[in-house]
Structure 1
Amino acid sequence: MPLIPAGLSNLNSKVESARKGFNSTLDKAGQKTGVFKGPDNPKTASKPLPPPAYTGQPNRLKLPPPPPPPARKPLIQNQYDEESYEPAQPPPPPPPPVARKPMNVSSSSTPYRPPPTSLNGYGPPNMAPVQPTSRYGPPSPPKSSAQLHEESRAMIEAENSTQPPPMISSKKPDNWGTTPPVRSFQRKHGQIPFPPFSQFTEEDKQAFFMMLDEFFGRRFPDRQASHDTGPPQVTLRTRPSILTQQEEEEGCRAEIIARYFKTYRSWTRSDQQWYRHQDPVPTPLIGTTDIKRVSCWTQTGDKRTQINYILFPDLSQLWTSVNFLVSSNGIPQEALAKYRPPPRTHEYDYETLVTKSSEIYGPYIVEFAIEAEESGRHIARGECWDLANEALKSSPIDPPPLTSISRTHGILLYYGTSTGLHKGFGEWKQNGDLAGIRPGDIIEWNRVSCKTVNPDLLFTLGDPDHTAIIIDAHGNTITETDTPPYKLGYITVIEQSLKQIPVRRTYDLSTIQAGQVWLYRPMAEETLLGNGRNSAVFPPPFPAF
């Protein structure tokens, strides 16, 4: 046993006493430590460690710095989180170490021991500082080049694959084929909702295109000529002219008036609001006497619909509809028009032109003219036109023939113009094998200069127009290219005028020197005009344009 100085013996006793008290405190708290606890048998115990040397100088204890935070990829400045859409903030700096008050330890006092922490081997470890992240954690790392290459290769193989695509596993409703899903259209503020163009009705599409025509017409007006002259007058003549089929369709009178209804948004003046009148005649037709017209209107509440049907001398037809408010003097809410072009003679076959027309109506027309000649008095007013019109009106045959409208008495067969003796041009409207003049046909003259046979007299037929019924014809020449009037041969007619009761004359058309000639054949009205004729209905039956 080595000898211990008295001063150190006293100090060791105090240290031993403090150690026992400290171990007792730890045992009571449920913690077990053996740092200062020696073995129970001092004989078998190893030599204890010498106690640390203490001095009277103040002991400045400094805590070591806290552990660094876990290694983590730094966030790029102004990087936005995928969920919160807020800029990620950098982690806060670690808190500075807390400075402790220095302690003066004397040789006679119990030495100071720091409280148990994870730094000196006691107590639980300190938690690492939590760094702020988004609500759903940090964003996933980007894909590697190998992953991107694998995905690209899979997409290319899928596109070049000849295998059929996999079946769609999602189950559709049972009524998918018959009832399509209802599409909803979300309207923005101040925006008028419109369905897709595929859901437009035919009326809506036509109104839409009419609005486009009007818009571009106002945006890009037609160029005016440099000289100050008005537009040419719209022709309202009743004679069909020698034009191609396309030109005749483009120039039909029903189509010309139908275009007027596209401008209904400009009907602002009172004289333009013809649809409010007792006799609603469209403005372009006011004063026209060579048309047939039927009108009617319906009204629901304050909204009235005015419907018109118009038949023109070229046998084109027009149906119109105007919707407007009775209590308002503004423009119409809507104005629509549909038309049907004139019938085409070349579209009819032998049965229609001969069997169902000439052979049915011709004998009665001839009989009516002969009876008028034998009666020795005028028919109706005594006008030449009345003879043909009354013959068609009094026909007892069913279906009834088309009655005269202006100078039109049926389907047009021929038109020609004479420019001098044995000069001129003309053509048949039907095929060559169906051409020819037959009894019962009706002829129209316009300032024709021609001679009669027995007696040989020169007549001027038409001032300007003249009508006659043909009861016999022979010697006419038929050519497919050109048949001027002087090739029509001899015709025998019955005609009348205000100064002449019905009389029979034979004309030698080879002596014609001037004028124009039209030939018409009576035909059933239903054949010429079709469904919807003479009826104010809208929209009309097909075909209508």
Structure 2
Amino acid sequence: MPTFAELREQAKKAGSMAGSQVNSLRDRFNQPASSSPSSGGSHSFRSGSISSPPPMAKKPPMPPPVRGAGGAPPPPMRTPSSPDAPPAMPARGLPPSLPSRTQSSAPSHVSAGSAPGGIDWANLTEDDKYAFFSLLDEYFARRGLHDAPAGAQGGAPVSTPFPFTGAGSHAHQRAVLRTNPSQTHTRAALDSQQFHLDTPPTSMTSATICEFFLPSTHWPSAWYEDKKGSLPPPVVGSKDVQGGGRWSSYGDEMTRIGYVLFADLSVLWYRVQWNSQRHDPNSVQREAMYRPPPEPWSSDLLRWANELYGEELVAFAENSEAAGQPIGRGECWDLAHSGLQSILTNPATAHFPKPVQSISRTHGHLFFAGSGAANYNAQVGRWRGGDDRVRRGDIVEWNRVKIQTTDGGRMTLGDPEHTAIIVAVPDEPIPSAADGADVKPYELGWLEVVEQSKAHPPMRRRYDMSKFSEGKVWIYRPVPDEYIGPGLTAEWPPQQPAYSL
């Protein structure tokens, strides 16, 4: 009979299965280079195979913790060493070259036949089973895979997505993972992880629209019968969402399934079922689940994403500047949007993983959000993710910003929004950049960008962040679309981790 130490070792190995998304990333992204020759107008600075993604330091996006269950306190406020003036500007330079990455080995998976010591899993005692599953419970609980006990959020009891079975005579419950990892929580679960500067202003999130599908919500019309529309009424006409849907029927029984991707990169999935001979919108069966915005990525993943796309976007911006011709409609947003699309259409980069495309004012992984003020101590900013600096190829969004260029010109950026591609930054890390840290806008030093507007074709400017006196700023890192989850599609139930209200 195996010892407790042997069982503990098996539990640790079972935890390696949490690396399955890393395998998915590696398998998808480590593809051979496209053999298609680059066209004469190609802007790519390179061709050939791309590196594998680095291993994830923690499991990517999972549902947020239960509100009121505790958690880390907010990061402490920092006071600049010299409140009367920002730090001296570092010299202009390019980010240092990153070391080459080697493909990490795939996580191992445990099987009974390969277990050390020849453990007979079919004949374990009830005490041994209890000890082993206790270790698994501890592992999964740390990663948010357990639901809170009923009523833990102070409202109605919370239903659990997992069936539970007893472990012998012990009053203990263990989770049995299902193929569908969906969960059920109250709205408070999402509220507990809100980052108030995290996205440009938007009135809609996946959780708020999920409420539309509750049985208590009155539906004034049979909107689901309109086969020309693919979005539910609350988001129809919005520029802050993308989505799709599909239909099926079996006699008089109809089904509509759809999904909506929001500007904060949260996702809603829904299903509506009804009988075509009945005409009461409030008698239909309706269901919806939502996934909160993705969690921040580690330093290795964010730097790897910049290796993939950064120089491609810089090349696109600089070639657009040299050509002196407006991109798209000539709007500022078109430059960033077209730059991300060019990675898909350029033969030299067509084999790269698809980057998250611009949706509203979001252009990938948000890693900095800030609000300006003439008084440096009154500035507010938050860092998000593991990288320690802004890099060439990042995308900046301004909102009603007043700032100076490094040559002394005064500028107003955004009425209300303005978009630009960053082409040069100080060659130094941000002093205390860390996930969740307080980083004020003036600490960014300067940002050199290529931007366009209706009145001006693509042109280059350098903005002095120490003179950022008003408005808001968001900076995004272009990342592969795996960041928002594999293969977004109209499906039910959703195969990504998701919540029900």
TM-score over 0.5 for the pair: yes
Counterpart secondary structure, 1:420: coil
2:493 is aligned to 539
- Distance apart, 1:350 and its partner CA: 2.6
In the alignment, is the contact (CA less than 8 A) between 1:241 and 1:415 conserved in 2? Answer: no
Which deviates more from structure 2 when the two are superposed, residues 322-331 or residues 375-384?
322-331
- Does residue 321 of structure 1 match 2:271? yes
Q: Which residue of 1 aligns with 2:478?
A: 522
Residues of 2 paired with 1:468 and 1:322: CA distance?
Answer: 41
Q: Structure 1 residues 532 and 544 mapped into 2: Cα distance closer, same or farther (>3 Å)? A: farther
- The reply to whether residue 254 of structure 1 matches residue 206 of structure 2 is yes
User: Secondary structure of the residue that 1:295 maps to in structure 2?
Assistant: strand
2:362 is the counterpart of 1:393: no
Partner-residue secondary structure (3-state), 1:305: strand
- Match of residue 286, structure 2, among 315, 332, 335: 335
**Structure 2 Cα separation of the partners of residues 512 and 476 of structure 1:** 19
C-alpha distance in 2 between matches for 1:300 and 1:321? 15
User: Of 362, 367, 383, which residue of structure 1 is paired with 2:310?
Assistant: 362
- The alpha-carbon deviation at position 491 of structure 1 amounts to 1.2
Of 368, 373, 383 in structure 2, the residue corresponding to residue 428 of structure 1 is: 383
After the TM superposition, which residues 157-196 of structure 1 pair with which residues of structure 2 at under 5 Å, given as runs?
none
* Equivalent position of 1:349 in the other structure: 298
User: Which residue of 275, 281, 304 maps to 2:224?
Assistant: 275
How many Å separate the matches in 1 of 2:206 and 2:353?
25
The one of 456, 459, 465 aligned to 1:503: 459
Amino acid at match of 2:409: L
Deviation at 1:428, TM superposition (A): 0.7
Does 2:362 match 1:447?
no
The structure showing larger relative contact order (alpha-carbon pairs under 8 Å, at least 6 residues apart) is 2
Three-state SS of the structure 2 residue aligned to 1:298 is: strand
C-alpha displacement at 1:276, in angstroms?
A: 1.4
Residue aligning to 2:320: 372
1:315 partner letter: L
The two structures have a TM-score, normalised by structure 1, of 0.52
Change (3 A) 1:512 1:276: same
In 1, the alpha carbon distance for the partners of 2:332 and 2:288 equals 35
Is 1:462 matched up with 2:411?
no
Which structure 1 residue ranges, 4+ long, deviate > 4 Å from structure 2? none
Q: Residues of 2 paired with 1:401 and 1:280: CA distance? A: 24
Unaligned runs of at least 5 residues, structure 1: 1-196, 214-238, 244-250
Deviations 1:412-460 (CA, angstroms, capped at 9, x unpaired): 01001013242311021124xx221000000000111111123x20000
Q: Could you tell me how far apart the structure 2 residues matched to 1:381 and 1:252 are?
A: 27
C-alpha distance in structure 1 between counterparts of 2:332 and 2:293, whole Å = 25
What is the aligned-residue RMSD (CA, Å)?
3.0
Render the CA deviation track for 1:482-526: whole Å, top value 9, x for unaligned: 221111101110000000100001111101110101000000002
Alignment length, in residue pairs? 302
Distance in 1 (CA, whole Å) between partners of 2:229 and 2:379 is 44
> Would you tell me which structure has more strand in proportion to its own residues?
2
**Match of 2:450, as an amino acid?**
I
Larger Rg belongs to: 1
Structure 2 residue runs without a partner (length 5+): 1-162, 166-177, 187-193, 344-348
TM-score (norm 2): 0.56
Contact 1:388 1:468 in 2 (8 A): yes
Q: Verify the 8 A CA contact 1:532 1:540 in the aligned structure 2.
A: no
| Partner SS, residue 373 of structure 2 | strand
- Flag the 1:304–1:508 CA change in 2: closer, same or farther, 3 A: same
**CA distance in structure 1 between the partners assigned to 2:164 and 2:285 by the alignment:** 22
1-structure distance, mates of 2:217, 2:465 = 53
Q: Which amino acid counterpart does residue 353 of structure 2 have in structure 1?
A: P
Match of 1:289 in 2: 239
Residues in 2 aligned to 1:539 and 1:265: alpha-carbon distance in whole angstroms: 21
Is 1:512 the counterpart of 2:468? The answer is yes
Partners of 2:369 and 2:355 in 1: how far apart?
Answer: 21
Q: CA deviation at 1:252?
A: 7.8
Distance 1:410 1:403 in 2: 7
> 1: CA distance between counterparts of 2:405 and 2:461?
7
- Cα shift at 1:264: 6.0
CA 1:438–1:336: 2 relative to 1, 3 Å: same
- Aligned equivalents of 1:265, 1:313: Cα separation in 2: 24
User: Which one-letter code corresponds to 1:326 in the other structure?
Assistant: S
Give 1:110-149 correspondences, 5 Å limit. none
1:25-79 Cα distance to aligned partner (Å, 9 max, x none)? xxxxxxxxxxxxxxxxxxxxxxxxxxxxxxxxxxxxxxxxxxxxxxxxxxxxxxx
Distance (Å, rounded) in 2 between the aligned partners of 1:479 and 1:281: 42
CA distance in structure 2 between the partners assigned to 1:252 and 1:351 by the alignment: 31
- In structure 2, the CA distance between the partners of 1:265 and 1:495, relative to structure 1 (3 Å rule), is closer
